[in-house]
Structure 1
Amino acid sequence: MSSLPMKEAVRTCLLSTRLKDLFTSISNIELDGVLRNKALRNRFMKFSDGFLSLRKDISVDRFRLGCGPGIDHRKINEWILYAVRLGVRELDLIFQSRSFETRHFTELEFAVFTCKTLLTLRLFNLPSLVLTIPTHCCLPKLKVLHLNFLKFSDDESIRRLLSGCNSLEELLVQSCELSNLNKLNVCHRTLKRLTISGGDLAPSCELEINTPNLVCFDFGYIYCEETRLSLRNLNSLSEARICIGFIVNRSSNYYNDTASVFDLMRALSCVQSFHLTGICSEDFGPGDWGTPKKDPSCLQNHIKAIKIFALKRKHVEFQLVEYLLKKAGVLESLTVEITCVHDKERAENDE
């Protein structure tokens, strides 16, 4: 029964009166309360209360809770605390309601961020929440942490969170609001996979990554030319996925800078597989190419596979590809993905 999705388990138990309450023994719980109809929301809350009360003190392996508008935040608190109390190992929280505010989540912060049994924690789509990580954050067994569409109260919040996860191996920071941070510091000795993508960094923000055991690095944020990017101790890195995107200058204009590609490649000295997206925008002209004064050592001695995505057939892009082919000393494969070009753009390129 535990191997079935929760909906299928409930349907199966309806086949016989002997199986009537058997579904309450399943250890993987999925409660989806993203409902538009008020009557359905009320039925969902009543079902969830009844289901969890029937389970009593049976341990929880995985608890996935999705809540939309109209779900009582007090019940949400009760359900999550129930899972934490029963030793949940995998916790997914998906909130899609602006009525669930920071003050509603405060009492949960201590319980969730001091859970001794958690192996995986995913927080997704909390549009109105500003997380303040408790001072005594302690997630000793946590290996996977995914943060989506969140905002941290200050620099210290994310530092406290990471310092409290001594066994962390995978960190994803996706589409989070980081514009209020002065420094994003990811320093962790056990981290193996790191993704930071899908949002904006403040103009004065300093991004420091110091992860000696990192194997895979995925980076794709819009940042400013004033942003300080520090990548250190990445000697274990074997794969890097970089989306250069746009760089914002002081006049709030967007432009692309091939130099940033080489700055990153120099920092990723031991990488063997390099994926690159977003080399240039629509207005990126042939005169913007700048050959680096010093070739990245990883390009000469380590990189065996290069993948370039979203090529727009601009002259400068082909110059970059030509440079990579000439300088890649141990390259074994090169993959180039070209985007669809409209007739007007094709005519401009031909000129």
Structure 2
Amino acid sequence: MAEQVKMEKVDRISDLHDSILTHVLSFLSTKEAIKTSVLSTRWRYLFDLLPNIDFDLEEDLCRKNIKSYSTDVIENYMCSVDRMLLFCNTTNVSKFGFKCWIKMIGSNRFNRWISAAVDRGVKHLDLSTSVLPSSTLPIFTCKTLVSLKLGKYFVLNVPKDVHLPNLKILHLHSVGFLNDDSVKRLLSGCPHLEDMVTRKCDLGNIRNFHISHHLLKTLTIRYTYNSYQCWLWINAPNLTSLEYYDRLVAGYSMENLQSLTKAVIDISACKTLRADATKFFKGICDVPSLVLSDTSLQLLLRCEPLPVFENLIKLDLPCHLRFRCSNALQKGLETLLSSLPALEKLEFYQEVLCSLPEKVPSCLLHKLKTIKITNFTDEKDCIGKAKYILKNGGVLEKLIIVTASHISIGKKWISKTLCVSSRESKPCFILII
């Protein structure tokens, strides 16, 4: 019995190797990992060995239900960051993440943190703060940096000697650029950049948002501000994925996008067509897979001449009831189909097919294998669209129909009606969802 009691008092966890204990601590937040230092002398400095340092003041205060930022709370928080970066024995820092959007942090202190992280060979920087990173900081000449994520609410002043030789990921959220040169310097200083994201960035200080890079693979542009006088230039011969969610800007230049395999385009509604919108769509017309919002489809249909997407295999039109075929141009999906000779897979809301083409599109006769129609009803118009597809789909293998929630008769009636309809492709399978 005495031996059993003695066994219960043995601290087996503390006897584990440092590498195991630090792995356990890695599942905790940085603040929680620091708290383990009070457990015993064995745990006092273990948190120093953590390669990832991540502080999120906003989340931490919300979790504690603290609604106001007292000086003591902020100072204690800042001291925790000091302890991890400035006073610990960590030799390497893989990631330093800091999120705090209040203005109680001194720039000098913040600069010391960044310098310390860079000196310790940081690979991933994720900074969301109102404090402006100085253009003289080694953040712009860090040889170990692989990913850099910056935000929020400051103007980025990029120095002339920027050099980030290993940077592959660049995410900018709610930042502005001092001038056109800031954009050019930043991209030219990242020779191995592969992934770039801009979200809610302010382009008010620049006239040419020039994204030119020979190795860039993925590009996402979301909701820029003050861009109505700005030109967007994209020159990326190795770009494979483009996501563009924005209003029309002053103009476009889209070059060397022959490697593009997928594009997601959501351009906000615009009453007047600018000639350069046509340049935008012509620049991506070699893409094999395309997703278009309803407003983007309307804008594309107003291009003259309508671009031909010779290599497009898959088209997705996730449009909703905002699309109206009663617009003055009276154009819908049926117009676009004539410009898609290689299309094999098509997904669309039934509203975007405004009318049945008198001349059957070539892709429907010879290429289309899978068609998915969403928001389908049991009305005569919808049934007519499905019958038209079945009658002319020469190589159609599958017709998927996703019914609307308000259909009055039901799926069985739709299925029965379509199953007895004439079809060009006998093996075609009809699925009603």
Task: State the TM bucket, normalised to the shorter chain.
Answer: 0.7 to 0.9
TM-score (norm 1): 0.80
Written as runs of structure 1 = structure 2, the 5 A alignment for 1:189-208 is: 189-208=214-233
Given candidates 307, 311, 329, the residue that maps to 1:296 is 307
Shift of 1:280: 7.4
271-280 or 257-266, which deviates more:
257-266
* Alignment deviations for residues 154-207 of structure 1 (CA, whole Å, 9 cap, x no partner): 100110000000000011111111022111111100000011221235444222
Greater RCO, CA 8 A, separation 6+? 1
Q: Report what 1:41 is aligned to.
A: 74
Distance 2:300 2:47 in 1: 63
Amino acid at match of 2:77: F
Q: Which has the larger radius of gyration?
A: 2
Shift of 1:146: 0.5
Residue 23 in 1 paired to residue 47 in 2? yes
Q: Report what 1:308 is aligned to.
A: 318
Shift of 1:48: 1.9
Written as runs of structure 1 = structure 2, the 5 A alignment for 1:332-347 is: 332-336=344-348
Amino acid at match of 1:312: R
Given candidates 252, 264, 286, the residue that maps to 2:280 is 264
- Compare the two structures and name the one with the higher strand fraction: 1
Is the CA contact (8 Å cut-off) linking 2:202 and 2:227 kept in structure 1?
A: no
Distance 1:310 1:11 in 2: 51
Q: Report what 2:424 is aligned to.
A: none
Residue 235 in 1 paired to residue 258 in 2? yes
Question: Structure 1 pair 130/280, CA: closer, same or farther in 2 (3 Å)?
Answer: closer
For 1:246, what is the secondary structure of its paired residue? coil
Q: Percent identity?
A: 32
- How many residues align structurally? 316
Question: Structure 1 pair 54/110, CA: closer, same or farther in 2 (3 Å)?
Answer: closer
Amino acid at match of 1:112: I
Written as runs of structure 1 = structure 2, the 5 A alignment for 1:218-257 is: 218-224=243-249, 227-247=250-270, 255=271, 257=273
Residue 116 in 1 paired to residue 116 in 2? no
Q: Report what 2:380 is aligned to.
A: none
For 1:130, what is the secondary structure of its paired residue? strand
Distance 1:260 1:273 in 2: 22
Distance 2:166 2:301 in 1: 47
For 1:274, what is the secondary structure of its paired residue? strand
Distance 1:316 1:266 in 2: 26
Is the CA contact (8 Å cut-off) linking 1:145 and 1:168 kept in structure 2?
A: yes
Shift of 1:150: 0.7
Amino acid at match of 2:252: L
Is the CA contact (8 Å cut-off) linking 2:145 and 2:164 kept in structure 1?
A: yes
Is the CA contact (8 Å cut-off) linking 2:294 and 2:317 kept in structure 1?
A: no
Q: Report what 1:348 is aligned to.
A: none
Distance 2:177 2:295 in 1: 30
Q: Report what 2:402 is aligned to.
A: none
Amino acid at match of 1:86: R
Distance 1:50 1:280 in 2: 51
Question: Structure 1 pair 31/232, CA: closer, same or farther in 2 (3 Å)?
Answer: same
Shift of 1:267: 1.4
Amino acid at match of 1:334: L
Amino acid at match of 2:69: N
Root-mean-square deviation over aligned CA pairs: 3.0
Written as runs of structure 1 = structure 2, the 5 A alignment for 1:167-178 is: 167-178=192-203
Give unmatched runs, 5+ long, in structure 1.
248-254, 341-351
Shift of 1:78: 1.2
Given candidates 274, 277, 292, the residue that maps to 1:276 is 292
Distance 2:240 2:106 in 1: 42
Given candidates 332, 336, 339, the residue that maps to 1:320 is 332
Q: Report what 1:59 is aligned to.
A: 92
For 1:322, what is the secondary structure of its paired residue? helix
Shift of 1:218: 1.1
Distance 2:314 2:123 in 1: 38
Shift of 1:292: 4.9
Distance 2:197 2:288 in 1: 21
Distance 1:289 1:168 in 2: 31
* Alignment deviations for residues 99-155 of structure 1 (CA, whole Å, 9 cap, x no partner): x4x5xx32x544111111100000021x2x222110000001000000111111110
Question: Structure 1 pair 273/28, CA: closer, same or farther in 2 (3 Å)?
Answer: same
Shift of 1:219: 1.4
